[in-house]
């Protein structure tokens, strides 16, 4: 059986692998979603893509935080991560404001959007990918007692729900051809953005022990 310190280092190495996988997926997800949103003039896809960029930055911050812990200890790392969490939370609030404004304008002007097969594919794939990543991150976060990793796992959960909202909107728009459905779906995303932003801003610690 590993002694406590080597065991913790092994868990941190596993967390590194999970975050590198998150970085790779989020880079693909953001690129495809944003490019698809431009072609389709879709607010919901654009919001999903920008949220992916913010989560990409969050994963980068967590990698930095894990490296800080290895060098300077857990307490210093969690203090540094708290400031970064507030930045991420603020960006999510700004994104929520943008979505409300853009969706409101499209509803006011009755501007529709085009259906996007690449957008549907990337958001549909995001659901199982985010589920698998979140499940593993939560297990490691529990073992480490890490608020930072748990918060990152909950961002993955939120991304999975966001993708479900976008998929429903895209399928509904593709099948029913309702011009307002993309804007309505994007407004459904706002609740998730605000919730995720509030948790990041507060630095909710649900698993420290």
* Dihedral, 18, 131, 30, 111 alpha carbons, nearest 10: -170
Q: Does residue 166 lie in a domain region?
A: yes
Residue 176 has pLDDT above 80, yes or no: yes
How many of the other CB atoms lie within 10 Å of CB of 78? 18
- What angle (nearest 5°) sits at the alpha carbon of residue 189, between those of residues 185 and 191? 130
Give the pLDDT of residue 122: 96
Q: Does residue 208 lie in a domain region?
A: no
Q: Does residue 188 lie in a domain region?
A: yes
Structural domain harbouring 112 = 4-202
Mean confidence (pLDDT) of the chain: 82
Q: Rounded mean pLDDT of 17-37?
A: 95
Question: What is the pLDDT confidence band of residue 135, given thresholds at 50, 70 and 90?
Answer: very high
Question: What is the pLDDT confidence band of residue 81, given thresholds at 50, 70 and 90?
Answer: low
Question: What is the pLDDT confidence band of residue 3, given thresholds at 50, 70 and 90?
Answer: very low
Give the pLDDT of residue 174: 83
Q: Does residue 51 lie in a domain region?
A: yes
CATH code, domain with 21: 1.20.1510
Q: Does residue 207 lie in a domain region?
A: no
Number of domains in the chain: 1
Q: Does residue 104 lie in a domain region?
A: yes
Q: Does residue 159 lie in a domain region?
A: yes
**Model confidence over 105-121: pLDDT tens digits?**
888 887 777 789 999 99
% the chain with pLDDT above 90: 24
Angle between helix axes 117-144 and 4-40 (nearest 10 degrees) is: 160
Phi-psi region of 203 (alpha: psi -120 to 50; beta: other; left: phi over 0): left
Q: Which stretch of 52-61, 81-90, 115-124, 180-189 has the lowest confidence by average pLDDT?
A: 81-90
Q: Does residue 39 lie in a domain region?
A: yes
Residue 182 has pLDDT above 50, yes or no: yes
Tokens of 39: 């072609």
């Amino acid at each position: 059986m590993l002694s406590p310190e080597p065991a913790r280092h092994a868990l941190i190495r596993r967390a590194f692998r999970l975050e590198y996988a998150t970085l790779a997926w989020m880079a693909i997800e953001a690129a495809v979603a944003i490019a698809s949103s431009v072609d389709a003039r879709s607010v919901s896809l654009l919001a999903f893509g920008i949220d992916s960029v913010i989560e990409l930055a969050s994963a980068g911050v967590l990698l930095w935080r894990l490296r800080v812990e290895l060098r300077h200890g857990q307490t210093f790392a969690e203090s540094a991560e708290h400031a970064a969490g507030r930045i991420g939370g603020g960006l999510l609030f700004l994104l929520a404001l943008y979505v409300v404004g853009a969706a409101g304008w499209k509803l006011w002007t009755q501007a529709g959007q085009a259906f996007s097969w690449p957008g549907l594919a990337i958001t549909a794939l995001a659901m199982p990918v985010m589920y698998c990543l979140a499940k593993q991150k939560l297990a490691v976060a529990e073992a480490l007692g890490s608020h930072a990793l748990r918060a990152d796992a909950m961002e993955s959960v939120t991304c999975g729900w966001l993708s479900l909202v976008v998929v429903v909107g895209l399928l509904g728009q593709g099948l029913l051809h309702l011009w307002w459905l993309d804007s309505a779906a994007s407004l459904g995303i706002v609740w998730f953005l605000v919730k995720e932003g509030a948790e990041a801003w507060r630095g909710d610690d649900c698993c420290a022990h």
